Structure 1
């Protein structure tokens, strides 16, 4: 199996991060990871109301935008936020998005 693509911190683009976060399902995934920390793909996708293949698509978009890190251990894939990388590249962006989301709820 080939390794998954994760952009370097310097290659994370603001437009791609915002585009990835503009989808409600992807935003919900980010919120879940912010609250729970590392999760398996199955746990993160529970109750999203989308098929597994659609959830996988959303994980890929978030990973390629530099928002998520995906780690494979055996047959499981674990997702986590790249909070430190995002804060280094765009200080306060993720916290602003998450607090705006909580305020809207």
Structure 2
């Protein structure tokens, strides 16, 4: 099983990594959009339309994935991203509603 698809237990979510990942406004924007979307929503990286280079988008999604906030699955020529909502809610109750309520910078 690839690293991006591995099973993640809520206890595996490290507070330091999560806070570091959420410190960047573009990464928080990705999490905010996914948190506001319905349960089980999957989106492609390009659908977020971040005003940065493709390499920077790749970097941001890697940081989010390594922090355990998202899961990514290859679907043919694209990769879909989904929020690890259940794991986040179990480990850090109330975090996603706070992010979802945040106004965009």
Q: TM-score, normalising length from structure 2? A: 0.83
Tell me, in whole angstroms, the C-alpha distance in 1 between the residues paired with 2:73 and 2:67. 16
1:52-63 matches, within 5 Å, as 52-63=54-65
Which of the residues 61, 65, 75 maps onto 1:73? 75
Give the Cα separation in 1 of the matches to 2:7 and 2:98: 22
- Aligned equivalents of 1:91 and 1:63: distance in 2? 19
8 Å contact 1:7–1:66 — kept in the other structure?
no
More displaced 10-residue stretch of structure 1: 14-23 or 29-38: 29-38
Q: Unaligned regions of 5+ residues in structure 1, if any? A: none
Equivalent residues, number: 100
Q: In the alignment, which of 67, 91, 94 is matched to residue 92 of structure 1? A: 94
Give the secondary structure class of the aligned counterpart of 2:81. strand
Answer yes or no: is 1:27 the counterpart of 2:28.
yes
1:39 aligned to which of 34, 43, 58: 43
Deviation sequence 1:36-78 (CA, Å, 0-9, x none): 431111112x1x1101110010000001101111011111100
Change (3 A) 1:53 1:7: farther
CA distance in 2, matches of 1:23, 1:51: 15
Give the number of the structure whose residues are more often helix, by fraction. Answer: 1
* Unaligned segments of structure 2, at least 5 residues: none
